[in-house]
Structure 1
Amino acid sequence: MKSKIVRSPFAIAWERSSRKPKSFGSRFADVCIWAVILLMTILCVLPLLNMVSISFSDRVAAQANEVGLLPVNFNVNAYAVLLGDAQFWRSFLVSVERVVLGTALNMGLTILMAYPLSKHKREFGARNIYMNLLIFAMLFSGGMIPTFLVVKNLGLLDTIWALILPGAVPIFNVILLMNFFKSIPSSLEEAAIMDGATKLNVLLKVYLPISLPALATISLFAIVGHWNDYFSGLLYINKAANYPLQTYIQQLNIDVTKITDVSQLKAVASISNQTLNAAKIVVSTIPVLLIYPFLQKYFTSGLVIGSVKE
């Protein structure tokens, strides 16, 4: 007996609409949408190109605001000063360690909290209590000074864990993933349980593979959050050798503006604050730009469509 292929109403409607010739109004709407997308793309790309051009330009041209989309008097002096410092590479490794450990901890705790909270109250009786506590904690924090005292009393100052543990549970990400778990058909979990799967097996083998778009989104949030954060380093790190990258380059700007030694002034005579700041922005952006293409393919929806027939 031949199996009948079940097609969704959406697929049938899409196929029928694609056969019909588009009207003038429909084509005009498409042109307007593409024009808006193109304009938004240009608005996002032009500032980045300007920063790249400033970082490769001469200090005089940068200070005179003569740099547009192309470098003026091309040079790499700002990058030589930035990358030639051994502290830069130490801070870079600290940031990489923070991103790896922090993202792993964030994702683990987010998944383990979002899964039970996505269940109905009859399955998880304390669900509403935990949700109220999470929402309260998201709206009202303990404050900077109490948090600092907690980190200090735990002996975490000047350690990598001082940068990770205070934000170990990103509540906003928990709510995002919880809502995504709620959208997964319950029949998938019921079928897995009937086959003898435990709750942990259901989470690992059913929910997580289907939730790749949501997981990719919140993992990118965690990566960018850990990578771009500089204020935690100012609060919890006293030794410059333990600074994360963003804290280091923020302090580097302060140090450069206060240089008084003649030999140091000669070493940085070919750069300015504008070129150095532009180089810092470019260098700190590159890792995120390299990670994004690997996660971008998961930023799609509809993985659940067709996985089960209701």
Structure 2
Amino acid sequence: MADKKLKLFKVSADEVTLSFIAYVVSGLFALICVLPFIYVLVYSIIPYSEYLKNPFNLIPKNITFEAYKMAMDYKYLWTGYKNTIFIAIVGTICSLILLVLTAYPLAKRDLKGQKFIMTLWIITMFFSGGMIPNYLLIRSLGLLNNLWSVILPGLLGAYNLILMINYIRGLPTSIEEAALIEGANDIQVLFRIILPLCLPIIATLGLFTVVGYWNSYFDAIIYLTKREMWPLQLVLREIVFESAANEMELQGVEQRIIQPFTLKMASIIIATLPIMCVYPFLQKYFMAGLVLGGVKE
């Protein structure tokens, strides 16, 4: 009996040790991830002269929000916000709709030509048409200086499609068969049975998609030449370049170079903070099970 208690004590001690190590390692990784954001936040609210005295100080002595005021007064910042919000919301909604409508039939292994269609999708993961053909295609469609030129090229990615197909294939077939026996058609099965069970993967892929659209700027550089059509990231890029040029021109004039550096930091916070607020609302779906309310086989 004593030996049994001793073994249980050893097992418990080992579990506590492993849990402690896991928490320490996870905490260190979390600190490494959040530390750069803290530095940027601190740099955005301290005077530039204080930063020069101690670049690694995380406890500001003087706080100023002049950089945020300058960034918000920038001519194209709010139009960039408006364009980015439109691109992110409309692009994510359209992408998820096409994703569900495409993945559901391709998840059927008995679909004729399913393997051939999937092969075509997979090829796009390794090869693309190239920058010049894509530009000629967008121009021929009359989408230059149009926000849809940023939305359409990345509307349905092969990687997200594969994830959605594998998720649908992992759902119990008994649910779908029961619905078909009760007289439901394929459309009703998709929207009333399959779609509610796919909420976790839809939330996950939706988050990936909205972050991708929010951070995209390369397509905007190519297809959008009017500044009032620029998304937020392209406006932020211009602010960073302009502030860097100002720093080079105004070296040695400390009172005037306070603004360019802190302007860059404030612009980064302004651009990243809204998308970071989305994560807490979708976090619960990441922890959800593969099947919600499913039946046993």
Q: Secondary structure at the match of 1:298?
A: helix
- Taking the TM superposition and a 5 Å limit, the aligned residue runs for 1:155-234 are 155-234=142-221
CA distance in structure 2 between the aligned counterparts of 1:305 and 1:58, rounded to whole angstroms: 52
Does 2:242 correspond to 1:274? no
Residue 84 of structure 2 is aligned to residue 81 of structure 1: no
Aligned counterparts of 2:266 and 2:292: Cα–Cα separation in 1: 45
Residue 44 of structure 2 corresponds to residue 33 of structure 1 = no
| 1:43 is the counterpart of 2:32 | yes
- 1:304 is paired with a residue whose SS is coil
Contact 2:243 2:264 (C-alpha < 8 Å) held by counterparts: no
In the superposition, the TM-score normalised over structure 1's length comes to 0.86
Shift of 1:158: 0.5
Residue 206 of structure 1: how far off its partner (Å): 1.1
Q: Shift of the alpha carbon at 1:309? A: 2.1
Paired AA for residue 295 in structure 1 = L
CA deviation vs aligned residue, 1:173-198 (integer Å, no higher than 9, x gap): 11111111010011110011111111
Given that 1:107 and 1:219 are in contact with CA atoms closer than 8 Å, whether structure 2 keeps it comes out as: yes
State the partner residue of 1:5. none
Q: Does 1:59 align with 2:76?
A: no
Are positions 1:143 and 2:130 aligned together?
yes
| TM-fit CA distance, 1:290 | 1.3
Q: Structure 1 residues 177, 65: closer, same or farther in 2, change over 3 A?
A: farther
- Post-superposition Cα deviations, 1:49-93, rounded to whole Å, max 9, x if no partner, equal 111001111122335552432335321121111101231111100
Partner of 1:110 in structure 2?
Answer: 99
**Corresponding residue for 1:91?**
80
Deviations 1:19-76 (A, max 9, x none): x775221221111111111111111111111110011111223355524323353211
Q: Equivalent pairs: percent with the same residue?
A: 35
Change (3 A) 1:177 1:239: same
SS in 2 for 1:73: coil
Name the CA distance, whole Å, in 1 between partners of 2:165 and 2:279. Answer: 23
The count of residues paired between Structure 1 and Structure 2 equals 284
Q: Secondary structure at the match of 1:70?
A: coil
CA contact (8 A) 1:46 1:69 kept: no
Separation in structure 2 between the aligned mates of residue 282 and residue 23 of structure 1, nearest angstrom: 44
Give 1:296 deviation, angstroms. Answer: 0.8
* Contact kept in structure 2, 1:188 and 1:206, CA below 8 Å: yes
Deviations 1:275-294 (A, max 9, x none): 22211221111111111111
Normalising by structure 2, we get a TM-score of 0.89
- Secondary structure of 1:219's counterpart equals helix
Deviation string, structure 1 residues 92-115 (Cα, Å, up to 9, x no partner):
001111111100111111111111
1:246 matches 2:230 = no
Secondary structure at the aligned position of 1:159 is classed as coil
Distance 2:103 2:265 in 1: 40
Give, in whole Å, the separation in 1 of the partners of 2:245 and 2:14: 61
Q: Aligned-residue CA RMSD in angstroms?
A: 2.1
Give the match for residue 11 of structure 1. Answer: none
Q: Distance in 2 between matches of 1:67 and 1:157?
A: 45
Deviation at 1:255, TM superposition (A): 2.5
Q: 2: distance between equivalents of 1:144 and 1:272?
A: 37
Secondary structure at 2:277's aligned position in 1?
helix
Kindly state the Cα deviation for residue 274 of structure 1 after the two structures are TM-superposed. 3.2
> Which consecutive residues of structure 2, in runs of 5 or more, have no partner in the other structure?
1-7
